[in-house]
Structure 1
Amino acid sequence: MDAQHTACGGGRRGSRRIIATLVVASLTTTGCQGMADTRQGPTTADGRRIDNTVADWPLKFVQHSFGVRCYSTYGCTVDYNGFRHVSHSEDQLRPALSDVHPDALKNASVGYIGVRNFPDPARVSWRSKDGVRHDEQVDIGAIFADQLIVHEVPRDEISEGVSIWDPGILLVVDDRTISVYMRAFIPTKAPQIPGNPRSTHRDDWVLAWSRRY
């Protein structure tokens, strides 16, 4: 790593001049440009890069972040991509969504990042508010089979040439209903809040799928 950094940034002097020269020669053909390419954006299964600019319309994704929220449930557990995301008490009823905060979903974040499309279905187990046990599978890959980013921003309002990165997927268990939302940070040409120059983006949670059990 030190040798690569030096080759791109100016070359070493001293007793390792010959080694540094060889590293520079190697990186001239494959190094600095190659390293830059790896940061250009995600790629499809066949290696094509997805930058997700307006020119790449419609916007697609090849990996995502994931999160879970459970409301009005007992013992809610959710497993996805080999990881248990929540494991709540069997004896305590989780608060209702309306009791948590009016903007609880709006402000929800997802912290499990870099999930390649797509793992096996999420396994969801819980008891609804009436005490009935539910064990279900939610196939995230089937919900987003086209791998299109779900958003509500018209194409002509999105900033030109700005890459749009991995969207977040949020699975919400609310009593007897499971809902799946997607959110992507999408830069916009104009502020979304008049007079606020820091609001040139949209990052809404958009409902993609819902089912009552």
Structure 2
Amino acid sequence: MSTSAASSPSAAAQAGAGTSAEWPLRFERHRFGAYCFDTYGCRIVYHGFPHGKPDDTKLSASTASFGADYRSLMKAGHIDIVNFPPPAEVSWRSKDQSEHSARIDIAEIFKDRLVRHEVAREDIAPGVSINDPEIILEVDDRTINVYMRSFIPLKAPRDPGNPNSDYRADLIQVFSQTY
């Protein structure tokens, strides 16, 4: 993950995730998405909005049912959340029917407000704005994972034969806890 010495965010950075000229990349707003796998009655409430698979009688699909690259399908559809609402409230039953609940404090996880990414500063396209990052919470049986994904425009395509490969949007795991 790329990071560097912190500096004060400018007014542009306070309006969103900032521009490529600012380093390290910071964010003031984010998008959020939540997913449940191998759970019963999985409920996630974040920023006042419910997410999850609340059916108490049916086991949600497993990650294996979506294939090895299932995480690439996870997106954050809840947009324009100003940092940071109260913690996400999560309740669910694991595959073995055990009941669980957790408070996932997104503000604490991202207290430094740094955008997690795998792009070197010198590879970022000059003068571009960086969109609000996605924060994704995943409940998988007994484990909660939190990820960040940010669309980072590059100076040059990763694949010279594909001009549409001029960005990175890696999903970076930043938190995991098994219950």
**2:117 aligned to 151, 156, 162, which one?**
151
Alignment correspondent of 2:130: 164
Deviations 1:90-138 (A, max 9, x none): 1111121011232221122111000000000000000011110001100
Q: Which has the higher helix share?
A: 1
Q: Does 2:161 align with 1:201?
A: no
**Structure (1 or 2) with the larger CA radius of gyration:** 1
Alignment correspondent of 2:11: 48
Matches of residues 1-213 of structure 1 in structure 2 within 5 Å?
A: 48-50=11-13, 52-213=18-179
Gaps of 5+ in 2: 1-8
1:148 maps to a residue whose letter is L
Give the 4+ runs in structure 1 shifted more than 3 A: none
Task: Provide the secondary structure at the position in 1 that maps to 2:34.
Answer: strand
CA distance in 1: counterparts of 2:46 and 2:103, whole angstroms:
10
Q: In angstroms, what is the RMSD of aligned CA positions?
A: 1.4
CA distance in 1: counterparts of 2:88 and 2:76, whole angstroms:
15
Aligned residues: 168
Q: Which has the higher contact order (CA 8 A, sep 6+)?
A: 2
CA distance in 2: counterparts of 1:88 and 1:193, whole angstroms:
42
Quote the offset at 1:193 in angstroms: 2.6
Gaps of 5+ in 1: 1-43
TM-score (structure 2 length as normaliser): 0.89
TM-score (structure 1 length as normaliser): 0.76
Q: Identity rate of aligned residues, in percent?
A: 47
2:122 maps to a residue whose letter is D
Deviations 1:60-88 (A, max 9, x none): 00000000110010100000011112242
CA distance in 2: counterparts of 1:73 and 1:107, whole angstroms:
18
Q: Which has the higher strand share?
A: 2
Quote the offset at 1:192 in angstroms: 1.8
CA distance in 1: counterparts of 2:127 and 2:18, whole angstroms:
9
